[in-house]
Structure 1
Amino acid sequence: MAKRKRNIVSCAACRVQRKKCSEECIFAPHFPQDAPEKFTVVHSVYGTNYVIKLLQGLEIQQRADAANNLVCEASARVKDPIQGSAGVIHELQKRISDLESQLASKQQELMNMHSMFDKILFPMCDGSCDSQDILYHTSSTEDIMYEELGSVLWEPI
């Protein structure tokens, strides 16, 4: 019986290198034919021989993560040749720090507004009562009513 040859489509790495892709191609699982830009950026930064040595030195289960990391690192290095992904990380940390300071500022502003709200609602309170414990309101007869939180507040009609 004649052995049928499998029709192998070249992976992106073999296409960029203008080579015939074999069944044992180390690049094929990680650089599919429909995404040649991934291998192109990795090839331009690291070179083919380095990528081959790196992937061959890893266990098969680790190769997909390594290939994805190479693509991310190479893309960052193309955008920022000096800092690469470290520049991206630094920028994101700076944004987090800025957002944390904005959050702290808004929380302080909210606390100040809460304090002003307490002073308006509880003008007779000398600081010994808190809006979380007691609710204050005046009825139509101007009587002062205190109710514990959780009770139903009602006002005479």
Structure 2
Amino acid sequence: MTGFSSPCGACKFLRRRCVNGCVFAPHFCHEQGAAHFAAIHKVFGASNASKLLTSLPATDRREAAVTISYEAQARQHDPVYGCVAHIFALQQQVVNLQAQLESLKAQEPVQGYTNTCSVSSPEEDSMKAKVMACQT
């Protein structure tokens, strides 16, 4: 229970009295918790979420509640892939950045020969230092 009269977000959403020892109270605040819990309730069900949280050690419950909330919101946004769509997008971003890095590595020796006579600006020196740091 979060206070004397205000229920946690989960109990507020479920329209029930928040009792001492409520498994949801530490993880779903009164203000924003109801919106987060609504997604969890719709996707997984309150009973399943409660069973999952109570089966975990108290030290892992905070992270589990955040993860369940994220997964439920992702599933509502993308019913087919859920959070896996975000994982795929991040993996593709890694592949693209690795290809871009390889391209920059391949261009650096060529540019090194063409820029031997030119004077570089501090921004160019800074950028070259960043590229060199990425290569190591």
Decide: shared fold, TM above 0.5. yes
Aligned match of 1:19? 16
Shift of 1:41: 1.0
Q: Deviations over 1:23-52 (max 9, x none)?
A: 121111111101121111111110101011
Percent identity between the aligned chains?
Answer: 31
2:31 paired residue among 34, 47, 50: 34
Instruction: Provide runs of 4+ in structure 1 moved above 2 Å.
Output: 115-118
TM-score after normalising by structure 1:
0.67
CA deviations 1:80-112 (Å, max 9, x no partner) are 111111111111110111111112112211211
Cα deviation digits, residues 61-97 of structure 1 (max 9, x gap): 1111110110111111111111111111111110111
Query: 1: distance between equivalents of 2:20 and 2:5?
Result: 7
Counterpart residue number, 2:45: 47
CA-to-aligned-CA distance 1:101-148 (integer Å, 9 cap, x gap): 112112211211113446x79xxxxxxxxxxxxxxxxxxxxxxxxxxx
CA distance in 2, matches of 1:93, 1:49: 34
Aligned residues: 115
Contact 1:42 1:74 in 2 (8 A): yes
* Alignment partners' CA distance in 1, 2:105 and 2:60: 44
Unaligned runs of 5+ in 2: 119-136
TM-score for both structures, normalised by structure 2: 0.77
Matches within 5 A, 1:66-105: 66-105=64-103
Structure 1 residue 10 and structure 2 residue 2: aligned? no
* Counterpart residue identity of residue 17, structure 1: L
Q: Which has the higher helix share?
A: 2
Which whole-Å CA distance do the structure 2 matches of 1:83 and 1:70 have between them?
15
Which protein shows a greater Rg?
A: 1
Tell me, in whole angstroms, the C-alpha distance in 2 between the residues paired with 1:61 and 1:116.
58
Larger strand percent: 1
Q: Could you say which structure has the greater relative contact order, defined with CA pairs below 8 angstroms and 6 or more residues apart? A: 2
Do residues 109 (structure 1) and 88 (structure 2) align?
no
The answer (yes or no) to whether the contact 1:8–1:23 under 8 Å persists in 2 is no
Q: Structure 1 CA distance, aligned partners of 2:23 and 2:30?
A: 13
* Amino acid aligned to 1:85: C
